[in-house]
Structure formats: structure tokens, C-alpha cells
Structure 1
Amino acid sequence: MNRVDGESISRLLRAWRSRVDARTVPELRGLYPRPGRRLSQAHVARMTGVSEGWYRALEAGRRQDFSESFLLRVAQALRLSEAETLTLFLAVCGRRPPGLLAPDPTDLPRGVQALLEQQVSYPAYLSDVAWNVVAVNPLMGEWFPWVLRPGANLMRWTLLDPEAREQMLDWEDSCARIYLAMLRVAANSDPANAELRTLVRDILEADADCRRIWSEESDVVEHRDGHVFRLRLPYHGNAEIRVTTHVLLPIQRPDLRFVFITPMDGWAGV
């Protein structure tokens, strides 16, 4: 935390602490002398299991090796909202709190759902951090019927389904290497995510080509926005087409990817 950030989070922490009535805190009952209305730094330290000096360093904005579990306990002790917890984490350690964004992936904000439904010109879909398909527009289901199957997952279909190797031309260089490079980034950016670890393990165990590419390559790719694919789909009579993918992150649900697919070269056969 630099000086400005430290002063800012210090002021916020003091304000958040001052609004908690110590008399309503179960962990402080039975203390002698009995706490008054004001929640003190010593009280918060007791509630979070650290020394008063350690908590005082946080509130003073001094840089320390504050753990995520400690910051989560502070958020609970001060009864912070999700936005306040996010602010605390960003100010102190520059990252989002673990598990803050864990809503039901199918519970879409109205605006995101409307944007997907109103995209009628091109295929579009939503996927989560592990590339599970959460929702699609009708055209996506017509182009790629596999997305309508229960448990549809982009990585599993692209890398493991024989159908993908027929429909995605130049599969190894244009598709497999890109998708495996994306998995490499995801697995390292969130090592605690068991679903991502399982996804990588299942793909590498199931396919020799993926194992070979994984061992040969060290490339990393964060996303495939703007990537060009050559496709041959039954929907288009198996004629070859070139498309571009566009990847957006909905501000209301940054745990989701909003992806839509547009034709290249002015082709209007959709």
C-alpha cells in the first residue's frame, strides 16, 4: 500500500469500525470491563485472532504480509458488504477476495440475459471460468448443437470430441494449441480452483495429442478475442467459412465470458 492508498483504507477502516456497536458482537460478550458501544482496535484484533499491533498496522495502512484469511476475518468482524470487502482487498493486496464471486452461474443479470437474447445476427453464448456453457442464443444452438447437451463444456468439446476435429479446420495449430495455452494460464492464475485442475487433468489423461502439445509448448494465451477460425459445419452445408470470436466480460458478472462469433471477409451467409 502506498501512502495515498494507506491513508484511504485507514479512513475507511476507521469508518467501518465505528458503525459496529460492540454491544451487539457475540464474541465480546462476557468481557470485563464490558465493552461500550464503540468497537475498538483491540476488539477487532480479538475477533480476528491476531495481536492488537497486527490489526493496528492494517488500519494504519502499513504494508504487511496480510493473509487472505485474515482480511476475510476483518471483513466479517466489521460486517462489510461485498463491495466493501472488495475495496479492502484491492487496497491492501491488489487482488479480489477469494470466493467473492460465486453466484449461481445460471442466475443471469437481466441486462446480460437481454443482451444474449437480442443478439440475433450471430451465434453468442456465455461460459464460466471453467468454460462450462451457461447460456446460448438460438443461433449458437443451430451452428453448434453440442452446446445444448447437458454439461456442455467448450474445452472438453474442442479438445476431446472427434466432431470438433472435423468441424474446426486445422484443428491442432488453430484450435488445440490455442485452447491448451488458455488452460495453462487459467490453471496457473487460480491454482485453488479444483474444477480447473480436474478439467486440465481429464483432457491430458484422455488424449495423446493434447498431452504431446502440452509437453512441447510453453505458450500462454489469456483469451481468444479476435482469433480467426476456419469451420466446416453442417448448418452451412459443410462449406468452409472463416469466423472471428469476440470475448467480452460483463461488468455485472465478470466471472462469465460473453462470446459472439462473426463472419470474416464480409460473408453474409449466416
Structure 2
Amino acid sequence: MPRADREYQGLFERYRRRRTRKDLGLEPWSLPLGKGGGKSERIRQVDVDTALQGGAGTYQKVRAGRLRPSPDLYMRLAQLLGLSPEDTAIGHLELFRAEPVQPPAPPSPYLGRLVTGQREIACAITPDGRRIAYNAAFAALFPGGQPPVNLWRWALFSPDAKDLLLDWERAWAPRLLTEVKLACYRAQLDGAAARLLSEVADDARLRAIEETGSGLGGASLPLHHPALGDGTVRPVPVRATGATVMTFIFEPGD
């Protein structure tokens, strides 16, 4: 079989050949007597249209490059054919130059080992800010060594945050809002992320903050360290499956 002209076409065909008719909710079809008779679970291209409940010939046109799928059609085909999250993202990026919105994925169980092995201040959080893991350097920022259960909610809504995040209104809040919105919109199928976005939108104090359009990455922000005093912190957010690893590079002041 000749190689598909586009990556997403090849992905669709690869997964179509792996699936069975039962996977698509279709009954086996009868083989002609000249081919031995019996039943077959093989999925033909026309069967994809049947399972898709779309127009006749839709999948064949997509496969042949005569129809460029819309984002909705692409995601329906990806789900129907059982593409992995990674392959779904590859095809979507090729077609639309953007990552697709996908169902929430569980964070890696090894994030704790990754974070606790760091020397710098570090934690791992879900898109809505819930704490997954943290190291001793991160715990040392908070009274009694007990970090908040939800980093985003603490940073945005808790009055105590201003004791640590200096110049909160002008330095931290504009970037925090952008960072939180970006994380939540990337995970907009996550109910907890959607609830946080709604609460942010309903908060009059946060609505008064003028955002700069930049998140935490690359910023240099004032921070009061309980043990080391006032200084500057440079946040480094790194996306992982179902989570963000936040590293804070702290430099004490003079």
C-alpha cells in the first residue's frame, strides 16, 4: 500500500486496520462463497462511514485527500478509530497547527520522584492547581512546612499569598491570571479547571487586574522567603501529562 500523502491519513488507516467491527458497534459481514464464506471482523472504509453516521463516502474522501476534515470531523474520526492521545495530537497539529482539547489524563505516578529529587523549589500541580507533589524547598515557603492544597486558589484568592508574593497586584497577579487561564483552557474538558475559570471570572477583585498577556515563564518576580529573606524568583513551568511541574529559581537579595 503506498504511503499516505499526509500523516493524519496514515494514522487513520493504521488504526482502521487494527480495529474490529465489534469495536465500531457493527455486526460481522459475510464473506462471499468464493472467499471461503463465513464472517469477517475486518473494517472496510465504507464501514467507517456507517459507524460515523455521516455522509456516504466521507471517510474515503478524507483518506484520498479529496476532503480536508474540519476539527470536529477529525476528532470524531480519531475517537471512532481509537487513536491514542499522542497520535490524535500529531494529526491535529499537522492539520490545524494547534493541539486538540482532549479528555483529562491522569498525572504520572512518578512526578513525586521527579520533584523531590530537585534542589530548587519545585512542585507538581493539576491544571486547576491541585497539589500532586512537592519537595522540601517548596514546603519551606509555608508556615509549618504545609503547602496549600491548591496552589492557584491560594495564589489568587488567599490574603496570605501577599506575604510571600511581594507586589502581588502589579507583579504577580497579572501573570498569574494569564498562567491560570492558559492551563485551564488547555484542559477545558476538566470540570475542576472549568470551575476555577468560572470563579476567576466572577471575582470582582481579579477582574480589576490588568493582565499583561504573559504567564509566569520567563518572569523575574519579587518573593519573600521565610528563611532567606526578600529576593527574586524565576518560575519555570513545564507541562507534563495531566500536570505542570513548577520550578522556582530563587535568588536572595543583597
TM-score w.r.t. length of structure 2: 0.77
2:47 to 24, 43, 46: 43
Contact 1:82 1:100 in 2 (8 A): no
2:123 matched residue in structure 1 = 125
2:64 corresponds to 1:60: yes
1:116 matched residue in structure 2 = 115
5+ long unaligned stretches in structure 2: 33-38
Cα separation, 2, equivalents of 1:115 and 1:78: 34
Gap change, CA 1:203 and 1:83, over 3 Å in 2: closer
1:139 matched residue in structure 2 = 137
Which has the higher mean CA deviation after the structures are superposed, 227-236 or 79-88? 79-88
Gap change, CA 1:86 and 1:179, over 3 Å in 2: closer
Cα separation, 2, equivalents of 1:195 and 1:20: 33
TM superposition shift of 1:185: 4.0
2:222 corresponds to 1:219: no
Contact 2:230 2:253 in 1 (8 A): no
TM superposition shift of 1:193: 4.7
2:227 corresponds to 1:235: yes
2:175 corresponds to 1:178: yes
SS of alignment partner, residue 46 of structure 1 = helix
Identity in percent: 23
SS of alignment partner, residue 143 of structure 1 = coil
TM superposition shift of 1:67: 4.2
Gap change, CA 1:14 and 1:201, over 3 Å in 2: closer
CA deviations on 1:189-233 (whole Å, 9 max, x unpaired) are 565554334213324545x432322xxx35322x31232222224
Gap change, CA 1:204 and 1:90, over 3 Å in 2: closer
Cα separation, 1, equivalents of 2:166 and 2:45: 62
1:246 matched residue in structure 2 = 236
Contact 2:231 2:252 in 1 (8 A): no
SS of alignment partner, residue 120 of structure 2 = coil
Gap change, CA 1:190 and 1:12, over 3 Å in 2: closer
2:162 to 161, 165, 168: 165
Cα separation, 2, equivalents of 1:188 and 1:82: 17
2:196 to 161, 175, 199: 199
Gap change, CA 1:218 and 1:168, over 3 Å in 2: closer
Aligned AA for 1:245?
Answer: P
TM superposition shift of 1:135: 0.9
CA deviations on 1:120-172 (whole Å, 9 max, x unpaired) are x321101222222221012211213598457x222221122111112222111
2:12 corresponds to 1:13: yes
Higher helix share: 1
Contact 1:242 1:263 in 2 (8 A): yes
Contact 2:178 2:213 in 1 (8 A): yes
2:35 matched residue in structure 1 = none
Contact 1:170 1:230 in 2 (8 A): yes
TM superposition shift of 1:261: 1.8
1:256 matched residue in structure 2 = 243
Cα separation, 2, equivalents of 1:147 and 1:185: 29
SS of alignment partner, residue 208 of structure 2 = helix
Aligned AA for 1:220?
Answer: G
2:110 corresponds to 1:90: no
Higher strand share: 2
TM-score w.r.t. length of structure 1: 0.73
1:78 to 52, 76, 81: 81
TM superposition shift of 1:32: 7.0
RMSD after superposition = 3.4
SS of alignment partner, residue 58 of structure 2 = helix
